[in-house]
Structure 1
């Protein structure tokens, strides 16, 4: 159905005259008549009756009018959904409880007028492909994993170094420690079922294991953070790593401990990725907000893999 013809039909209805509708649309009266006639042929009905006072809707015209207005509203929403500055800023984070989600919540509080669409893609390849296709505007990732440099049209800026913490149950051998060194973790079982081979976070923990001689087990299905916390609380021999800014909630009876890791402190490097030619005006606001509110990159006493891009 020709939307311009539908728009002309609504204009004639609101103006009550073909001549006034032509003036409102900045077209000729002949063009108005042709559009209405074409729409009537498409629908197979008459929409107007010519009357001394102007154009009056037929019974079919009255039936069609609310649908015509809805068609125009849908068309406007469709256009706005892909028009920079009119659609939400689309940003990818790994999980809803991650530090990345926290950064976006802080941004929303600072800029409540910017509409956001936060989504969760899987790995860096999926995120980069979505950025290049325009499906999203930006993504938080650790870059660049070994052997996988970013395409030339993708820009990356490191925005947050998140210290790792050891999470244990109340009966774990290190549960009462105020902090632990990386060396103290050697020989302890660290369970992380979410380490999917080939992802940037798996590459990070592979290097952590190789650097400090740790034991990380990724066995078993990943049933999510709640199931992980239940298992850690009930199993004295197991611990896991969590980011310092990860939002965790568990039953009071779990008695879980979050213990800082030092000597050096492993930090997970979060970077913001976007397309070099991204047109969305809110992206610059997000980048400026992150630059002004995040600090602590490459601090003394911290560790990141050699492949992590510098600040």
Structure 2
């Protein structure tokens, strides 16, 4: 398939007008029309419908668009595989408000000369596949889950042990506590709808439940952090876990409490993963930065903390 026609199709779909797509691609509008027509002949379907407002995707066009984007991303990765030093350093951080995003902000402030792309992949299998293909250069994950060791070509180092906190509404029985011993949480309902079976974070919380007899519920759809905070604020029998450096913002009226968990303190073990043959020139700089900032600041398997047995020691 001619990538120029695919690129033209995506540009036209995004712009909604052939004329704007032509300006973006630095070609004539006639060239855009010819490329789209050629692609439609190859596929045997109509991709656009002309309207007074411009060009709208047909149902077939809507179906083809995500695959067209994938084709262009694959081509980009193919080029990047032999021009690694010319593209930004790509790092996977799981989510935007977690501690590892803060680590990458610190790295960017310390090394503004390094171009950086931050991406968010779903689970460790996806991240490892992206590391092995060269789509990303590094990933922050908890490793290694039981029975799922990392491939031999993937290296890792623990960079941050992040303490847990209990998040409650103002009416919860523990809301006024300055800290909560882990054993005191037995019998309390801890709601975490973001836990997905088979993921590395599910393995972590499964181990926590098994060792301390906690009740962690992952029932119901995950509508995101705002809905979770609303429910915890309004339900005195529910609490949830968060981690110390996770950034949360809620309305003043919620009155939520973040309470340290102690005796022991569960810590979430963030590790940096990379492919041992990754040639990106900025990757050693990232590793050195984390070695002198994140790890030094958090300690190594500190007394009074807990992690699953399957997490490798420092």
TM-score by length of 2: 0.74
Question: CA-to-partner distance for each residue in 1:46-71, whole Å, 9 max, x for gaps?
Answer: xxxxxxxxxxxxxxxxxxxx759xxx
Q: 1:305 aligns with which of 266, 291, 308?
A: 308
Tell me the CA shift for residue 294 of structure 1: 1.5
Contact 1:80 1:87 in 2 (8 A): no
3-state SS in 2 of match to 1:288: helix
3-state SS in 2 of match to 1:108: helix
3-state SS in 1 of match to 2:84: coil
- Residues of 1 paired with 2:300 and 2:107: CA distance? 20
Contact 1:187 1:215 in 2 (8 A): yes
What does 1:1-311 align with in structure 2 at a 5 Å threshold? 81-82=80-81, 83-295=83-295, 296-311=299-314
Tell me the CA shift for residue 183 of structure 1: 0.5
Tell me the CA shift for residue 133 of structure 1: 0.6
Structure 2 residues without counterparts, runs of 5 or longer = 1-25, 29-75
Question: CA-to-partner distance for each residue in 1:83-102, whole Å, 9 max, x for gaps?
Answer: 22210000001110011111
Q: Which has the larger radius of gyration?
A: 1
- Residues of 1 paired with 2:221 and 2:120: CA distance? 19
Find runs of 4+ consecutive structure 1 residues off by over 3 angstroms.
78-82
Question: CA-to-partner distance for each residue in 1:109-161, whole Å, 9 max, x for gaps?
Answer: 11111111111100100100010011110100000000000000000000000
Question: CA-to-partner distance for each residue in 1:269-310, whole Å, 9 max, x for gaps?
Answer: 000000000000101010000000023120011000000011
Residue 36 (structure 1) aligns with:
none
Question: CA-to-partner distance for each residue in 1:168-187, whole Å, 9 max, x for gaps?
Answer: 00110000000000011000
3-state SS in 2 of match to 1:85: helix
- Residues of 2 paired with 1:224 and 1:140: CA distance? 21
- Residues of 2 paired with 1:286 and 1:234: CA distance? 42
- Residues of 2 paired with 1:226 and 1:309: CA distance? 33
Structure 1 residues without counterparts, runs of 5 or longer = 1-65, 69-77
TM-score by length of 1: 0.74
3-state SS in 2 of match to 1:132: helix
Contact 1:81 1:88 in 2 (8 A): no
- Residues of 1 paired with 2:231 and 2:282: CA distance? 42
Contact 1:226 1:250 in 2 (8 A): yes
3-state SS in 1 of match to 2:85: coil
Aligned pairs, number: 238
Name the CA shift for 1:116/1:80 in 2 (closer, same or farther; >3 Å).
Answer: farther
- Residues of 2 paired with 1:122 and 1:132: CA distance? 16
Tell me the CA shift for residue 81 of structure 1: 4.9
